[in-house]
Chain A
Amino acid sequence: MFAFGFLTTGLAPWLMVSRSTPSTVGEFTSVPYEFEDYFKDPAEYEKAVYRGRDIYVREACWHCHSQYIRPVANEALFYGAVSTAGEYENKLQLPQLFGTRRVGPDLIRISGKYSNDWHFAHFFRPRDVVPDSVMPEYRWFFEKTDRFWVFRADGSSMCRTAECTYSADEAKDAIEFFQSDDAQRAQDEGRADPKHQYRTEPAWKPNNDGIAIVAYIQWLGSWLPNGGRPDPLATTVR
């Protein structure tokens, strides 16, 4: 009976799918422009996507995010194109990562939905980007740099440079500037000096793991136009 079950519900669907649907995705011939800052040639990019897949497995992302769209429950409208078997016939899907639970949303139509920077911020501290998110923080995808962020006591980030980060000396200057600015403004408006507190925090940047996992996430669905998501200009709603 075990053999019968294996043949009918295991082997037969597998052979049927693998024979009838040629592999159409998973070829890396160029580096997408969003990743040109990180990778020079396609081989490097391909390696990062594979590494990202391994991180996805290691951190058990697939326990909370599924990777297939069903033809029911309005999923085609919510996420995008219904999954087809051919999309999964490539080496990046070995072992398969369909998933069985959605604590977070499905990811197979995620490519290009958010920018790389959105993903980095989200991995660093998800609740900064999506309030009430229950996703864990992945600090180990990041490394400290020698630059700093400056925050006011209420948590707002203070920007004086293009990237909002400062070297140690600049940070000191910036805090002096912000404080004198606060005092000046209070004087102009006839209030008491508010004496805002400022603090610095080391700035983080994604390490190789962080870049790899984002490369992988951005790959999911990239074989379809607009990541397989519904055309925002389409007006037909069922």
Chain B
Amino acid sequence: MSETTGAKPANRYYASEETLVDYAMVKAHLAVSVIFLLVAILAGFLYSLQFTNSYPFKGISWLSPGRVRMLHTNAIAYAWLVMAFFGLLHYMLPKLTGQRVLSPVISRFVLWAWVAIVAGTVVGILGGTAQALEWGETPAWLDPIIVVVYLIMAANFIAPVIKSRQKHLYVSTWYIVAALVWTGLNYVMGNFMVEYVAPGTGGAALTSMFIHNLVGLFVTPIGIASMYYLLPLVLNKPIYSHSLSLIGFWGLAFFYPLNSTHHYIFSPIPMWAQYAGIVASVGVHVVVYTVVYNFWMTMRGENAQLGRNIPYGWIMAGTFFYLVTCIQCAFHVTLTFQEIIHFTDWVVAHAHMVLFGTFTFWSIAWVYYLIPKVWHRRLYSRTLAQWHFWLSFLGLLLMFVSLTAAGLVQGYMWKSMAPFIDSVRASVPFWLTRTLTGTAIVIAQLLFLYNLYRTFKGPEVLTDEVHIPLDCSEPANWQPVITGPAAAARPVPAV
């Protein structure tokens, strides 16, 4: 783990024999991912202009708002989050398992292959070969390639877990391994069964599984795993309870795969399947409360850090949004809510809070955390970082309120049997607010990128010389800390 022993470089990819982390890959993945983040958010902003009748590219087929919308959702999922998560896995997994990833050559291949896949997706969607699978509009001709690259990537990341001889895996490893296995199955199911095998209602049941599992069994477990890893580091203390974290994990494994039908409530899908989806979704309460309680008890007494510890602020805001969005989910899947809010902007608000408010916030916390750790640099400007946070935070909060209100207006107007266009007219002020808050979020990410650019142009400082103003120094001999019965096997290192 430490690079200061002066040992000979083991090979061209690792600094020394003891180096576990392929730092070049962590850097490359994260750098590419933040650029993708900006692209994805810009696409969303552009799409929102259509709703206020100010879309700038009228009459250009490949920039039609419908296609740009697919670009927005797919870029957030496959370009920004997947890329960032690959980078985080490159950092976390070797440290969690004490083993390197399978092969640095594979890592580089997957990085470039994934960039090519993202480029192919952009060309495919804008060029008019999108697939009719929500959140999987990646052209059908790309799907087999993605599956192959995904399998290679999964082997690269699962290998260190298998090689590791630890008896007790930290909870992050549980989440990561499960997510990698689930997602492979899910991707094949969604992209091949829905596309070629199951029509109509059955296809909808499978589609709902795909949409839900992409968030529930890929983004959520890897996001939570990364927080179980990062939070103790940022606060320099062990996680509150290892047992609780395992309840959260098994709760997720038990409830999330059964949730999916709640995306098509009141559709022709057999009603018993819809009920099953609703009951399992309410069970998600168990998962959310254990995870959030665990995080909050770990955060307890650390409020003084909020002002100066930048990653901590992002983690805390992300956790807050995670709680809000998951409580909301467990309620709005019920038939009572669904009657009004289904098909409305309420759901759009929810989706933004999940993917931006929670998982994007957490991933941004990681980027801030890794600047001193991996790039060995001081952050260029704390003020810009504060602006980045508050514009994103308030922008998202307002967007959420605005779209949720719009959802209620739309739902009740439809039920009142008013002409459809009346609900559109009534929504315009809310959509305008959405565009304005979106502008704030775009500006925030531009400041972020500028801040990062200036940081990387700045001088490199040796790791141990950095007095990190973010309070996120990592002890050289750090390992994830386990409390409870397992603590005997992995004693807490003296800090």
Contacts and interface: CB of A to CB of B under 8 A. Distances in A.
Contacts, number: 216
A168 interface: no
Contacts of A88: 199-201, 204, 268
Nearest to A89: B200
Interface stretch (B252-260, B313-321, B440-448, B470-478): B252-260
A118 interface: no
Interface residues of A, number: 64
A13 B201 contact: yes
A94 B417 contact: no
Select the residue from B132, B186, B273 with max chain A CB neighbours within 10 A: B132
Contacts of A133: 421, 424
B217 interface: yes
Contact of B258 (A8, A91, A103): A8
A220 to B, nearest CB: 13
A16 B414 contact: no
A125 to B, nearest CB: 10
Given A14-B206, A132-B421, A96 B66 contact: no
A70 interface: yes
Contacts of A60: 66-67, 69-70, 130, 137
Counting chain B residues whose Cβ lies within 8 A of the other chain, the interface size class is 35 or more
Given A8-B276, A60-B70, A96 B261 contact: no
Nearest to A14: B202
Interface stretch (B83-91, B94-102, B335-343): B335-343
A130 interface: yes
B70 A63 contact: yes
Contact of B257 (A4, A13, A100, A127): A4
Given A1-B254, A6-B257, A77-B417, A13 B129 contact: no
A120 interface: no
A33 to B, nearest CB: 28
A70 B206 contact: no
A1 B132 contact: no
A9 B268 contact: no
A78 B256 CA distance: 35
Interface string B194-234: 11111111111111110101000100000000000000000
Interface in B62-76: 64-67, 69-70
Interface of A: 1-2, 4-6, 8-10, 12-18, 57-64, 66, 68, 70-75, 77-78, 83-85, 87-91, 93-98, 100-105, 127, 130-134, 136-140
Interface of B: 50-51, 53, 55, 58-59, 61, 64-67, 69-70, 128-134, 137, 181-182, 185-186, 189, 194-209, 211, 213, 217, 253-254, 256-258, 260-261, 263-264, 266-270, 273, 276-277, 335, 338-340, 342-344, 347-348, 410-411, 414-417, 420-421, 424-425, 428, 431
Q: Return the 5 tightest CB-CB contacts between A and B, nearest first.
A: A14-B202, A88-B200, A5-B257, A60-B66, A96-B203
Given A1-B258, A105-B420, 20 more contacts: A1-B253, A2-B213, A2-B217, A9-B208, A16-B270, A57-B132, A58-B129, A60-B137, A63-B69, A71-B266, A73-B415, A85-B200, A85-B270, A87-B200, A94-B195, A94-B196, A96-B194, A134-B50, A136-B64, A137-B58
